[in-house]
Amino acid sequence: MCLLCVLFTMTAASQAASDKTIYGWVEKAQLVPWGVTVKAKLDTGALTSSMHATDIEKFEKDDESWVRFTTRVEDQRTEEMVEKKFERPLYRELEVTGAGGSDQRPVVLLDVCMNNTIYEEQFSLRDRGDMIYPMLLGRRTIRHLGLIDVSKSFLNDPECDHDSKVVEHKNESDSDD
């Protein structure tokens, strides 16, 4: 490969990278339309995002599978503990296998504001009460955001309103987990 070609490729890659927003390994994310801001860990080791949920209950509604759950988190704007009950259509079931065995988790679509954009993303539901971060953003979400600087945190604040850009979920292959 010619030296000029290599330099051109490196310059083009550098320019493309500089056009992307840089996020830290921990950021603030806002649950839309609830408006609560939570700490979210950006985890490149996870494919699917995860949200703290308790009292998880599956039920039928209009001949479809739904999930009812409660989330209790610290709002990063007010530093108060807040709680909300949600009902969402079941998007899919996720089997997670780890050192402690395997676990079935429901997955729902939730809207999350990062920086100034609202993303409709897949979130597996599990009790993350013993975890530092109530929200974990996996690669499916991260790939929409930009670049991650693992030496930094809290580089962007969620600032979404009714005029914010919305990135809707695209039905992709879910067999990668």
Model pLDDT for residues 123-143, shown as the tens digit of each residue:
999 999 999 999 999 999 999
pTM value > 0.75:
yes
| Pair 156, 21: CB distance under 8 Å | yes
What's the CATH architecture for 20-167?
Beta Barrel (2.40)
Domain range summary for the chain, segments of one domain joined by +: 20-167
- Radius of gyration, alpha carbons of the chain: 18
Confidence of residue 19 (pLDDT cuts 50, 70, 90): confident
- Confidence check: pLDDT of 16 > 90: no
At residue 45, φ and ψ (nearest 5 deg) are -85, -10
- Confidence check: pLDDT of 5 > 60: no
| Pair 119, 109: CB distance under 8 Å | no
pLDDT value, residue 6: 42
The number of angstroms, rounded, from the C-alpha of 97 to the middle of its chain's C-alpha atoms is 20
pLDDT value, residue 173: 59
**144-163 tens-digit pLDDT:** 899 999 999 999 999 999 99
Say how many C-beta atoms besides its own lie within 10 A of residue 108's C-beta.
21
